[in-house]
Amino acid sequence: MIATRSDTVVTPASSTGVADEWIQDSCWNDTIEHAGLTYDDTAIRLVLDALSPATAESPNCLLAYQLSGAVQQ
């Protein structure tokens, strides 16, 4: 499960056998909320790493502006 601690819509419950990945554990300054997870660079990197562990990379921690997709350099 990949989630954000900034989510005010859904707070997923932990479950046995499920690895919890929190956005802020990889990038402490990423405050993305629920609606932004689909375009957040950290979330995308965590999904790609889970799907292909052999080519896993660390997130670059660039911040996407809430609901815009614009990236802060």
* Strands of 1-73, DSSP E: 2-3, 21-22, 63-64, 71-72
Distance of CA 28 to the CA centre of its chain: 11
What pTM does this model have?
Answer: 0.76
Structure tokens at 14: 């932990």
In this prediction, what percent of the chain has a pLDDT beyond 90? 30
**Domain interval for residue 58:** 2-72
As for how many domains the chain has, the answer is: 1
9-43, pLDDT tens digit by residue?
877 777 888 888 899 999 998 988 888 888 888 99
Q: What is the DSSP letter of 13?
A: P
